[in-house]
Amino acid sequence: MSTDVHQGLSLSESAALLKQYGPNELPVKKKSLLLLFLSQFNDVMVYILFVALGISLVLPFIEYAGHPHADSFLDAIVIAAILILNAILGFVQEYKAEEAIHMLQKLSSPHTRVRREGREIIIPSEELVPGDIVILEAGDKISADCKIITASHLAVNESSLTGESAAISKTEEDMVFSGTLVTRGYAECIVTATGLQTEIGRIAQLVSETELPVTPLQKRMAALGKTIGAVVVLFCAVIFFIGEFEHMQLGEILLVAVSLAVSAVPEGLPAVVTVCMAMGVRRMTKQHALVRRLEALETLGSVSVICADKTGTITENK
């Protein structure tokens, strides 16, 4: 896009381009409160508890020929309470973490100096559009991919993009990229890409498409749930076989089999796991660490080495 370097875009042009290209930001997939709450039930053991809950609700009607007593639903009430408690604990912890991260993002919302209608103004970086003339100085964070028009002793730290901690010298016609930092000099640039069209935006899009790995505990819980399910089915089959052999009534056989199925399910296990992780999250919070997902805390205790791009991530970039 050709833009008058001395005048920059007009307000009407920038508004039209903002409407065309959208805000200069990376879209964040934020779960609705309902989805965040429902995601707490996505576990094999929880599925088994739901089956046990359904059986516990139906069983009294079978046992008392359609006229159950109120206290015969005690098992169902206990299982339902455990399911709800487990979901609330996980929901509250993850919601707090998401809100804390959202507040940090709002506090760190960057601004950029641009030239529009011949005047230099400072705008929120999310309002940058292709064709904007951006003025960069030492200490500025670059918020869009830009092509340099003029530069004087310009150096840019691209560690957030490439991992290279040494500053890179830049001259006219070179590119500077969103997410990098000006360490020295002065430059005037024209914005070439914003949002997901930037290099860092494309990387972020690839990362967002990566599926979250299953943790070891989740694998073990899933395996335990499948094992319990298989054992319950096996014992129910044995009971049906014995009942038929002993010429028992079908209703009586079903009652014994269903009672065994409900009693074999460890109702408190998911809640105990969630409570333990929630306690760990509270301890991490006291150490000024945010945990977005409870499952992420699981293997942290056995971590001995962290391999990370330290510059600007876990250091002060000095």
* 151-160 pLDDT, tens digit each: 999 999 988 7
Which of 4, 75, 145, 309 is an active site residue? Answer: 309
What is the location of CATH 2.70.150.10 in the chain?
Answer: 11-22+128-208
Known catalytic residue at 75: no
Q: In whole angstroms, what is the distance from residue 218 CA to residue 186 CA?
A: 52
pLDDT at site 105: 59
Q: pLDDT digits over 18-67, tens only? A: 999 999 887 767 778 888 888 888 877 788 788 878 877 887 777 777 77
| Average pLDDT for 137-165 | 89
d(CA 151, CA 184): 11
- Return the pLDDT at 196: 86
Give per-residue pLDDT as tens, 56-97. Answer: 788 777 777 777 777 778 878 888 888 888 888 888 878 877
Report residue 248's pLDDT band, with 50, 70 and 90 as the boundaries.
Answer: confident
The residues of the chain that CATH labels 1.20.1110.10 are 33-106+214-302
Please give the average per-residue pLDDT across 129-133, as a whole number: 94
pLDDT at 212: 67
Q: What is the pLDDT of residue 243?
A: 80
Please give the CATH architecture assigned to the domain spanning 11-22+128-208.
Answer: Distorted Sandwich (2.70)
Residues 253, 249, 237: CA angle, nearest 5 degrees = 30
Whether 138 contacts 167, CB under 8 Å: no
Share of the chain above pLDDT 90, in %: 23
Domain with residues 33-106+214-302, CATH architecture: Up-down Bundle (1.20)
